[in-house]
Chains A and B, each alone.
Chain A
C-alpha cells in the first residue's frame, strides 16, 4: 500500500498548505466580511479537507470539517454575517483540523478526541441562522471545488469522481470525498457541468511544479559548493597553462558552474511571504486575547530568502510580533487617552539593501521605557548604578537582549518571562544576521533585522596580511584605498594613539589587521610606507582595515569553524582556496567589536550616523579634549579638519585676537582653556595642541589642553545658560563634558569668510 501512503502524504502536505491559506482568508474576512471570493475560498478549503478525510476514512476529521462547512455555507449564502465570535469558531475549527492532521501524520489515525464541544458550538451557531437548504448547496458546490485542488494522477477511484454532482451530500459521506482528487481525465467533464466560480489556479501550477525534499536540495547545494572549489582550482591552474583547448574548456566549466550555482541557489529561495502569511492570524488572535486593536501591515512580501534562513528567522519574528502586540501596543483606551488612534499599527517591511535583506518590525505603541530597563539591569546586577547613570540609552537598550530581563509588569502567557529576546538575537546572529533596536517613548519601537541572502557561497575579497591569506565578505566592503605617503600629503595620521585616515575630508578610524590578530606588534612604523586600506562597514560604523596586500575577489564557499575556534569573534568561518589551502574568513562585525572592546574605542569611531536612531538624543562622533585637569569638552568630529601641535612662540596677536600663521593665511585661535578652570598658560608649555576646525568656508583653531580620544557618543544636551563657547553639557564616557558650539564660534570670527582650499 505504498501508493496509498504517498497519497496520504500528499493529502497532508496539501491540507497543511490549505489550512495556512484558510487562516489568512479568515483573518482577512474579519475586516471585509462581504468578500465573496474569500468566503468561497475558505469554503472550498474546508470542503476539500472534508472530502479527502472521507476518502481516507477519518470520520472525526470529516465531522469537524463538515460542521465548519455548514456554518460557512450560511455565511456564503448571506444568511449570516461573519462576526469575530463566529470567526473564532472557524479558526478553532482550523486548529482542530490541524491537530488531527498532525495526529494522522504521527499515528495514521485521526486520534481519540472527537471535538464534541467544538461540534456543539458549530451546530449552535449554524442553528442560530435561518435555514434555507444550505445542505443542498453544499453538495451542489462540490464539483466546482475540485478545480482548485491539485490534480493527482495517482489518485484512485476515478469512477467516483462525478458522484458529488448527483448525490445530495449526507455527510459523513465518503463517496463525496473521492471526487475531490480526480484524475486529470475525469476532472474535465465535471467542470463543464458546473458554473466555474474559481479559476483552476492550483492545477495549472501543479502541471509545472514538483515537490522536492529539502534534504536533497541541501545535498545539491553542498555538491555545488564542492564544484565551485574545484572550478576555482582549475581556473587557477589554467592561468599557468597555454593550451588553448584547455583554456577554453576551463572557461566553459567556469561559466557553467556559475550558472549551476545560481540555479541551485534559486531553488532554495522562497518569498518571505511563506512565513509572513501566518502572521495575520497570530496578530489577530493575540490582539483579541489581549483586548487590543491591531492592524498589521506587510510590505515586501515578495522579497526572497534562502529557505534555511527563513526557517531560522520564523520563530524570532513571531516572538518580536508577540512582544509588539502584547506590550508594545497599548489598549484602545490608553491609546485614545494618549491622542493616538485606538487601533495600533504593526508594520513589517522587507527590502533589499547592499546584498542583504532588511526586515523592519515597527509598532506605534508605547515604546520601551529605557529607565525601567536601566533599573532592571541594576537589579539584576548587570550594571553598577554609576555605570547605569552614565551609559547612553542605546547601550542600555542592548540589555533587552540579555537573558532574564523583562520589563513587562506582569507575566502573561504571551510574553514577559524574560526569555526570548536573547534567543531571538542568538538565532539571528547564528546565520550571520544582526538585529538593531530603536525606540521612542510613546511613539513606538522598531526592530531592524539584517540578513544575508544566502549562507553557502558568497563573493569575497582575498587579502594577505602577516603572510596569511584571508577572505573578507563583499557584504561588509565599501571601497579599497591605496595610501601612498610618498606622493604628497596622503598618509595615515594619528590622533593621540589612534590612527586615522582622511577619506574625502572625513576622518576614518584605522585598524591594523596584523595588530588585531596579534601577528605584529609595532605598527606605527608602517605609517610611512604604502598601505592598503579596506574600508569596511559594520553595525553602522565605518573603519579602514590596513592589510599588506590585496589579492583578488573570488566566490568562496563558507565552511563553519570547528567548535574549538568558534569563540574567536573576528572569524566568520573558513574556506578552501583555489590552491587547496585553507583561508580564514574575516568577520567585519567581530573586528569592529574586538577593537572597540579593547578600550581604544577610538578605533571604531565612525562617520556620524545621521538620523539613525530617531530619538531625541543622537549618536555622533566627537573629539574628546581636556581643557584642564578636570574639565573636558567635545568637538563634533565633522568640523575637525586637522590636529596641530603649535609652539607657543607661534601665537601672535592681530587686533584683539590671537592668531597663528597657518599656511598662507592667518588662523584665528580661540583659547578654550581660558574658559576652563585655568590650566597652564601658553608660555609654560612646550607645545600647545590646536584643533583646526572648518565649516567649509571658514577656519578656526581651538586651543585645548590635551587631546583625549575620538568617541562615538549619544549626546543628550543639557543646556548651559550664557556660556560663551558651549552649546551645553553632556555626559560622555561617564564624565561631564562641554559640547563646544563650533558653529557659533565661526560667527564670532574676526575675519571675513575666506574660502578654504579643499
Chain B
C-alpha cells in the first residue's frame, strides 16, 4: 500500500497538507514589502536570501477571515512553475506519512472558492487534512483583485 508524505500546517484552525516534495523550505515571519495595486491576496514581497519572492495569504485565497494581529504568519516556500512563492499560513504542523487509501474527493457541497483550491481530503484518525492545490493557490491574477477603492 502506498504512503505519501505530507507537510502540514494550519490556517484558521483547518489542517492543510501539501506533498512534502513541493515544499522548498519553511521560514519564520519575514518582513514583507507591500505592493500597491497588487491583487489583495498578495501580502507583499519577501527577501529570501537575495531572492525576491511574493507572499500569498492563504487565508485570503480561501476567503477566510483575516489573520488576527497576534498570530505571526509562517512562510511555506513552495516551487510553483519554477518560481518560489511563499504561502502565508498560521502555524506549521508536522511532516506525516498518510496512507493513500485515506483519500477522498471533497464533498459536493464545498463552495466554489474552496473547490478550486482544495482538491481532496485525507481522513486522518483524529481529524481531516485538506489537500491544497498549490498551482491554483499561487495563481493570483488581476481578476482576483477586488476593487477596494
Residues of A within 8 A of B (CB): 226, 229, 466, 468-469, 517-519, 521, 559, 561-565, 567-568, 570-571, 574-576, 580-584
In the complex where A559-B52, A564-B140 touch, is A571 in contact with B47 (Cβ < 8 A)? no
B52 touches A574 (CB 8 A): yes
11 contacts between A and B (CB under 8 A): A226-B50, A468-B34, A518-B37, A562-B52, A562-B54, A565-B54, A568-B37, A574-B33, A576-B52, A582-B44, A584-B45
Q: Give B24-46 as 1s and 0s: 1 = Cβ < 8 Å from A's Cβ atoms.
A: 00000001111111110010111
User: How far is it, in angstroms, between the C-alpha of A582 and the C-alpha of B54 when the chains are bound?
Assistant: 11
B81 touches A563 (CB 8 A): yes
Residue of A nearest to B44 (CB): A582
B50 touches A570 (CB 8 A): no
Contact of A564 among B31, B33, B42, B149 (CB under 8 A): B42
Within the complex, the shortest CB–CB distance from A520 to chain B, in Å, comes to: 10
Q: Given A581-B31, A581-B47, A582-B52, list of 19 further CB < 8 A pairs?
A: A469-B33, A518-B36, A518-B37, A518-B148, A518-B149, A562-B54, A563-B81, A564-B39, A564-B42, A564-B139, A564-B140, A565-B35, A565-B42, A576-B47, A581-B33, A582-B33, A582-B44, A582-B45, A582-B46
Q: Which 3 residue pairs spanning A and B have beta carbons closest together? A: A517-B36, A582-B33, A562-B54
User: How far is it, in angstroms, between the C-alpha of A567 and the C-alpha of B140 when the chains are bound?
Assistant: 11
User: How far is it, in angstroms, between the C-alpha of A466 and the C-alpha of B33 when the chains are bound?
Assistant: 12
Q: Give B72-92 as 1s and 0s: 1 = Cβ < 8 Å from A's Cβ atoms.
A: 000000000101010000000
In the complex where A582-B45, A582-B47 touch, is A571 in contact with B149 (Cβ < 8 A)? no
Q: Which B residues are in CB contact (< 8 Å) with A580?
A: 47
User: How far is it, in angstroms, between the C-alpha of A570 and the C-alpha of B46 when the chains are bound?
Assistant: 19
Within the complex, the shortest CB–CB distance from A426 to chain B, in Å, comes to: 18
Q: Is B69 part of the contact surface with A, judged by Cβ < 8 Å?
A: no
Residue of A nearest to B83 (CB): A562
User: How far is it, in angstroms, between the C-alpha of A580 and the C-alpha of B42 when the chains are bound?
Assistant: 20
Residue of B nearest to A562 (CB): B54
Q: Which B residues are in CB contact (< 8 Å) with A584?
A: 33, 35, 45
User: How far is it, in angstroms, between the C-alpha of A571 and the C-alpha of B50 when the chains are bound?
Assistant: 19
Contact of B142 among A517, A562, A567, A582 (CB under 8 A): A567
User: How far is it, in angstroms, between the C-alpha of A571 and the C-alpha of B45 when the chains are bound?
Assistant: 13
User: How far is it, in angstroms, between the C-alpha of A563 and the C-alpha of B45 when the chains are bound?
Assistant: 12
User: How far is it, in angstroms, between the C-alpha of A450 and the C-alpha of B73 when the chains are bound?
Assistant: 44
Residue of A nearest to B140 (CB): A564
B85 touches A562 (CB 8 A): yes
Within the complex, the shortest CB–CB distance from B112 to chain A, in Å, comes to: 21
In the complex where A562-B85, A581-B31, A582-B45 touch, is A229 in contact with B37 (Cβ < 8 A)? no
A571 touches B31 (CB 8 A): no
Within the complex, the shortest CB–CB distance from A591 to chain B, in Å, comes to: 11
Residue of B nearest to A557 (CB): B50
B52 touches A564 (CB 8 A): no
A468 touches B33 (CB 8 A): yes
- Find residues 100-149 in chain B having any chain A CB closer than 8 Å to their own CB: 138-142, 148-149
User: How far is it, in angstroms, between the C-alpha of A568 and the C-alpha of B38 when the chains are bound?
Assistant: 7
Contact of B141 among A226, A469, A564 (CB under 8 A): A564
Q: Is B53 part of the contact surface with A, judged by Cβ < 8 Å?
A: yes
- Find residues 41-71 in chain B having any chain A CB closer than 8 Å to their own CB: 42, 44-47, 50-54, 56
Within the complex, the shortest CB–CB distance from A293 to chain B, in Å, comes to: 50
Residue of A nearest to B85 (CB): A562
Contact of B36 among A468, A521, A564 (CB under 8 A): A468
B50 touches A574 (CB 8 A): no
Q: Which B residues are in CB contact (< 8 Å) with A564?
A: 38-39, 42, 54, 56, 85, 138-141
Q: Which B residues are in CB contact (< 8 Å) with A559?
A: 51-52
Q: Which A residues are in CB contact (< 8 Å) with B37?
A: 517-518, 568, 570
User: How far is it, in angstroms, between the C-alpha of A695 and the C-alpha of B38 when the chains are bound?
Assistant: 46
Q: Which B residues are in CB contact (< 8 Å) with A469?
A: 33
Q: Which A residues are in CB contact (< 8 Å) with B53?
A: 562
Within the complex, the shortest CB–CB distance from B54 to chain A, in Å, comes to: 4
B33 touches A583 (CB 8 A): yes
Q: Which A residues are in CB contact (< 8 Å) with B149?
A: 518, 521
Tell me which of A570, A580, A582 has the highest count of chain B C-beta atoms within 10 A of its own C-beta. A582
User: How far is it, in angstroms, between the C-alpha of A466 and the C-alpha of B142 when the chains are bound?
Assistant: 23
Contact of A565 among B38, B50, B51, B139 (CB under 8 A): B38
User: How far is it, in angstroms, between the C-alpha of A226 and the C-alpha of B49 when the chains are bound?
Assistant: 10
A571 touches B52 (CB 8 A): no
Q: Which B residues are in CB contact (< 8 Å) with A519?
A: 36
Within the complex, the shortest CB–CB distance from A523 to chain B, in Å, comes to: 14
User: How far is it, in angstroms, between the C-alpha of A519 and the C-alpha of B46 when the chains are bound?
Assistant: 20
Residue of A nearest to B39 (CB): A564
B46 touches A576 (CB 8 A): no
Within the complex, the shortest CB–CB distance from A731 to chain B, in Å, comes to: 34
User: How far is it, in angstroms, between the C-alpha of A518 and the C-alpha of B38 when the chains are bound?
Assistant: 10
Q: Which B residues are in CB contact (< 8 Å) with A565?
A: 35, 38, 42, 54
User: How far is it, in angstroms, between the C-alpha of A568 and the C-alpha of B142 when the chains are bound?
Assistant: 9
B47 touches A563 (CB 8 A): no
Within the complex, the shortest CB–CB distance from B39 to chain A, in Å, comes to: 7
User: How far is it, in angstroms, between the C-alpha of A518 and the C-alpha of B50 when the chains are bound?
Assistant: 28
User: How far is it, in angstroms, between the C-alpha of A359 and the C-alpha of B130 when the chains are bound?
Assistant: 56
Within the complex, the shortest CB–CB distance from A546 to chain B, in Å, comes to: 15
Q: Which B residues are in CB contact (< 8 Å) with A517?
A: 36-37
Q: Which B residues are in CB contact (< 8 Å) with A466?
A: 36
B31 touches A229 (CB 8 A): no
Within the complex, the shortest CB–CB distance from B76 to chain A, in Å, comes to: 16
In the complex where A521-B149, A562-B83, A581-B31 touch, is A567 in contact with B46 (Cβ < 8 A)? no
Q: Which B residues are in CB contact (< 8 Å) with A571?
A: 35
User: How far is it, in angstroms, between the C-alpha of A756 and the C-alpha of B123 when the chains are bound?
Assistant: 86
In the complex where A521-B149, A582-B46, A582-B47 touch, is A563 in contact with B83 (Cβ < 8 A)? yes
Q: Which A residues are in CB contact (< 8 Å) with B52?
A: 559, 561-562, 574-576, 582
Residue of A nearest to B138 (CB): A564
Within the complex, the shortest CB–CB distance from A513 to chain B, in Å, comes to: 9
B35 touches A568 (CB 8 A): yes
In the complex where A517-B36, A574-B45 touch, is A567 in contact with B141 (Cβ < 8 A)? yes
User: How far is it, in angstroms, between the C-alpha of A468 and the C-alpha of B33 when the chains are bound?
Assistant: 8
User: How far is it, in angstroms, between the C-alpha of A469 and the C-alpha of B45 when the chains are bound?
Assistant: 13
Residue of B nearest to A568 (CB): B37
